[in-house]
Amino acid sequence: MRSDASGTSGGCDGGAASAGERDRFARRLFTPLPRRYDALADLLSLGQDRRWRSAAVAAVARARPRTVLDVACGPAGVTLELAARTDARIVGVDLTEEMLRQGAVNVGRAGVGDRIGLVLGRGQQLPFADASFDALTFTYLLRYVDDPQQTLTELARVVAPGGTVASLEFFVPPNRFWRFWWWGYTRLVLPVAGGITGGRAWFTVGCFLGPNISRHYRRYPLPWTIDAWRRAGFEHIGVRLMSLGGGLVLWGTRAGGGGTPDATHDPPDVPGGR
């Protein structure tokens, strides 16, 4: 595992936060989670996280990249799926050292250590040269940075023209009926179920997640996010809402590669979240 983290950039959830506070918050939140992360993420998302990851990885695997950067890789769940579904050499980057330690264990167990490198670093300031990767994935990242537009621009910087990028995030169900149940699940069930299955650290995550997701989309609705991808230098952007709108997979191509526009928007008219 290489250490390239410079650890700067600010504030937890809105509010006036000093530089580095948001990174510190993310590290504090994620440091106790790695050992049981994949199992509990699967359980607490009612098995949906697995489907969402698979959809994001499929968007990248289609392009048959030789090199992929997986940003906010955590314990390397997406990284390993990329390794299983492509022949690429993959680098995983994450802010939290403990996540990467568990990632190294998981990579070793899967026997693909020769194709995967794990690097400590920040999505806002990647320790790689311009256009170093054929493809890039990032999962559950933009809610943890101060300036999602700046981070998207930084992610685009390291992707070669024509390279594919895919992301996965939670979303707020656009349909009022499903949003009611989503709200109840994220505000009530998640903290309790998190606490019962994972103890205090997962209770904290369970309390944090729902309000954080809602707040993120109030500030950065989906149309803003799609425009931000364009401004960062991506084109042929595709959107897929999954699991009644609880999950959001976005993908696109780094401009300048001369590819064919083939991405789809599904559904075409997505409300901005609430």
Ligand X SMILES: C[S@@+](CC[C@H](N)C(=O)[O-])C[C@H]1O[C@@H](n2cnc3c(N)ncnc32)[C@H](O)[C@@H]1O
CB of 144 to ligand X, least distance (A): 3
Q: Which of 128, 140, 181, 220 binds ligand X (CB under 6 A)?
A: 140
Contact criterion met (CB below 8 Å) for 120 and 97: yes
**Least distance in angstroms from the C-beta of 35 to ligand X:** 13
Please give the Cα distance from 136 to 229 (Å, whole number).
13
| Among 85, 189, 201, 121, residue whose Cα is nearest residue 77 | 85
The amino acid at residue 148 is P
Report the residue number, 148 or 173, with the smaller CB distance to ligand X: 148
Question: Hey, what long-range contacts does 46-54 have (CB within 8 A, 24 or more apart)?
Answer: 48/242, 48/243, 48/246, 48/247, 49/247, 51/242, 51/243, 51/247, 52/168, 52/242, 52/243, 52/247, 52/249, 53/77, 53/78, 53/81, 53/139, 53/168, 54/81
Residues β-bridged to residue 159: 133
Per CB under 6 A, contacts with ligand X among 5-64 are 23, 26, 30
Minimum CB distance to ligand X, residue 74 (Å): 2
Nearer to ligand X, 150 or 235 (CB): 150
Q: Output 140 or 183, the one with its CB closest to ligand X.
A: 140
Is the Cβ of residue 115 or residue 122 nearer to ligand X in the bound state? 122
Tell me the residue nearest to ligand X as measured from the CB.
74
| Cross-strand pairs, 235 | 253
Does residue 147 sit in helix, strand or coil? coil
Which residues, 6 or more positions from 86, have their beta carbon under 8 angstroms from its beta carbon?
A: 60, 61, 64, 65, 68
Report 77-96 residues binding ligand X (CB under 6 A): 77-78, 94-96
Shortest CB 188 distance to ligand X, Å: 20
Interaction of residue 169 with ligand X, rule CB under 6 A: no
86, 102, 139, 186: which one contacts ligand X (CB under 6 A)?
Answer: 139
Under rule CB under 6 A, which residues in 224-263 are in contact with ligand X? none
DSSP labels, 212-226: HHHHHHHHS-HHHHH
CB of 189 to ligand X, least distance (A): 18
- Find the binder of ligand X among 80, 83, 144, 166 (CB under 6 A): 144
The mark string for 104-133 relative to ligand X (x by CB under 6 A, - otherwise) is: ------------------xxx---------
CB-CB neighbours of 123 under 10 Å: 24
- Write down the least CB distance from residue 119 to ligand X, Å: 10
Hey, CA dihedral for 240, 65, 139, 194, is it positive or negative?
positive
> Which of 56, 63, 90, 99 is close enough to bind ligand X by CB under 6 A?
99
Count residues contacting ligand X (CB under 6 A)? 20
Residues 155, 138: Cα–Cα separation, whole Å: 9
Residues that bind ligand X (CB under 6 A): 23, 26, 30, 72-74, 77-78, 94-96, 99, 122-124, 139-141, 144-145
